[in-house]
Each structure stands twice: as C-alpha cells, then as structure tokens.
C-alpha cells in the first residue's frame, strides 16, 4: 500500500514537470493576435491527443512487440517529428517580434 501511494505521488510530480511532450507549441507572444487563441487551443488538443494515443497504444504494442519493439515504434515517430520540425517549422531566431508576426500572417487577399 505504501509503495502504491509513493508511486502515485511520483506520477503526480512527473505530470507537473516538462519532461514529457515539450510545451504546447510556440510561445504565445510569437503568434499574431489574429490566430493566438485558435493556435493555442489546437496545440493543446494535439498534445492531449498524442498523450492519449501513447497511453492507449502502449499496452497492445508491449504485448505484441515486446518492450524493445514498442519503444522502437515511438523512436520512429520521434524521428519523423524531428524531420517535420526541421523541414516545416519556421525559423524565428534573430528576427523581431513584429517580423515574426508579419511572416506568420497571410496577406489580406489570401484568407479565403
């Protein structure tokens, strides 16, 4: 019983640390005001969905593939995510906040 209680506290402490999925997307001050709310909501929803997918898929993969196989699947997904970020996420270093916001906004005529 004491071990279970201890593990519960460790789990609660772990949930409050940023060692899992990093953040909820870009810092809000970088996003243009027009998309700040929807972008934050989308990032949060995707983070929760990803955590749910990992939590639901791990027991089945563990049974089917073993521990090494299950972790190999997650490693491949992380490599794919790193490639996605490297190719498609906009670089913002050495740019002003106004420059970043202007770069992220669509021109007026392209909103349709």
**In the chain, how many domains are there?**
1
Residue 81 lies in a domain: yes
Residue 106 covered by a domain:
yes
Average pLDDT over the chain, rounded to an integer = 75
Q: Is the pLDDT assigned to residue 12 strictly greater than 70?
A: no
Q: Please give the residue that has the higher pLDDT: either 9 or 28.
A: 28
**Is residue 8 domain-resident?**
no
Half-sphere exposure of 20 (CA within 13 A, CB side): 15
Taking residues 79-104, what's their average pLDDT? 82
- The four Cα atoms 56, 61, 66, 70 give a dihedral, to 10 degrees, of -80
- Return the percentage of the chain with pLDDT > 70, whole number: 66
∠ CA 20-25-30, nearest 5°, is 145
Measure the CA dihedral 79/39/32/24, to 10°. -50
Burial group, residue 58, by CB count within 10 angstroms (0-12, 13-18, 19+): middle
The answer to whether residue 18 sits within a structural domain is: no
8 confidence band (pLDDT: 50, 70, 90): very low
Q: Look at residue 89 and tell me whether its pLDDT is greater than 60.
A: yes
Question: Is position 15 within any domain?
Answer: no
Measured distance CA(27)–CA(101) in Å, rounded = 12
Domain that holds residue 86: 25-111
Q: pLDDT for 21-56, tens place per residue?
A: 555 555 666 677 777 788 888 888 988 998 899 999
5: in domain: no
């Amino acid at each position: 019983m004491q071990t279970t209680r201890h593990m519960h506290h460790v789990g609660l402490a772990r949930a409050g640390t940023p060692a899992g999925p990093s953040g909820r997307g870009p810092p809000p001050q970088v996003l243009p005001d027009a998309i700040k709310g929807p972008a934050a909501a989308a990032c949060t929803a995707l983070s929760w969905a990803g955590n749910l997918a990992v939590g639901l898929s791990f027991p089945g993969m563990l049974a089917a593939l073993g521990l090494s196989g299950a972790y190999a699947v997650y490693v491949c997904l992380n490599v794919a995510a790193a490639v996605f970020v490297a190719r498609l996420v906009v670089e913002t270093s050495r740019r002003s906040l106004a420059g970043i916001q202007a770069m992220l906004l669509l021109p007026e005529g392209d909103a349709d």
